[in-house]
Amino acid sequence: MFLFTRQNSARVIAIAFAMCTTAALWAQKYSNEFLSIGVGAQAQGLGNAVIASVNNVTAGAWNPAGLAAIGPDQGFQVGAMHAEWFGGVGKFDYLGITLPLANKERRLGISLIRFGIDQIPNTLTLYEDDGTINYDNLSTFSSADYAMLLSYAQKLKSAKGDLRLGGNVKVVHRRIGPFATAWGFGLDLGLQYAVNRWQFGVLAKDISTTFNAWSFNFTEEEKEALALTNNEIPISSVEITKPQLILGVGYQFQLNKIGIRPELDFIVTTDGQRNTLVSASPFSIDPAFGLEADFKRFLFLRLGVNQFQRETDFDGKENTTARPSLGLGFRISSLQVDYAYTDLGDQQNRYSHVVSLMLDIKPKK
């Protein structure tokens, strides 16, 4: 049974801020981290190791250069995903579209992303002035992050292989009920190069140093409740997302009707020392590995591993942990359905089911 007090009321709001901003509102490390969760069950099943090989509509969120790998005959491509993280508490949704331009070597794309926690109780106004509890004052709010990515990609002339270039202009909007809102803007730049069976990818993420400008709106009663419970009242501020560099390399094996594609990525962060496999300041490196096998490009089996971290147990012994993932998919005509079973590495092993769809709407000849 939950005991409603002014202190608990303020803690509800404080927890909402923490869950939405992942401790980035007051510290710049892990800023806009919801964009690193990743879209598409295909990528989730591969441990997010797709920078070099992604070649569908989800490339707008992974490496925009991959949009140029979609052939003009595939026409208009649509992708959608729904996932529930942390035991169903957090809901992650994605919708993406891409279409070719008049120049068949170029493509445009748009990606819409939402990560939110809904039905959070607001108990700050639960008490009347005389100290009595009025449950009619109880309300709920949502804490959510939104992003819109506008992508452009094109093929470049190359003596050998395929060279592709792409970029994103992204708009980030974050909202914590009626209490706080933020707007942010940033740029990404990506490259892909495929030669023979090798695939290489580079993504310079947040190269413009993405920022979020926060503003807060508390009533006088809410400010009083926060002050009485020793909670700091936040003030308008700017949150900075520092650049990342992601490098990827993959290879395509073909054994009769079976294709095998491994990929290894390295995520280089610049926002200070992180708990990663290679941990230093200001640069830390987090590897990711994915392996996909397909039968006649109809049935796909996937596995991946990423988010390597060092943890210390009660005996003081240090262990290395990782986030494993499994996935499968199938393609029928112009429809592809993908599934992944993975988690976000929250130390409680709460695995989630991720489902995504992709559809090609081909132009009439």
Q: What is the pLDDT of residues 308-324, one digit of tens each?
A: 887 777 777 878 888 89
pLDDT of residue 47: 94
Asked if pLDDT for residue 271 goes beyond 80, the answer is yes
The answer as to whether 13 is a domain residue is yes
Mean pLDDT of the chain: 84
Q: For residue range 281-310, list pLDDT tens digits in order.
A: 888 999 999 999 999 989 999 999 998 887
Asked if pLDDT for residue 222 goes beyond 90, the answer is no
pLDDT of residue 143: 86
The answer as to whether 107 is a domain residue is yes
The answer as to whether 1 is a domain residue is no
Domain span at residue 258 reads 6-361
Task: Say how many Å lie between the first and final Cα of the chain, rounded.
Answer: 65
pLDDT of residue 365: 65
pLDDT of residue 352: 84
For the whole model, what pTM was predicted?
0.83
Q: For residue range 126-177, list pLDDT tens digits in order.
A: 666 666 776 666 777 888 999 999 999 999 988 788 999 999 999 999 888 8
Q: For residue range 95-120, list pLDDT tens digits in order.
A: 999 999 988 899 999 999 999 988 77
pLDDT of residue 131: 64
| CATH code for the domain in which residue 340 is found | 2.40.160.40
Asked if pLDDT for residue 84 goes beyond 50, the answer is yes
The answer as to whether 279 is a domain residue is yes
d(CA 53, CA 154): 15
Task: Please count the structural domains in the chain.
Answer: 1
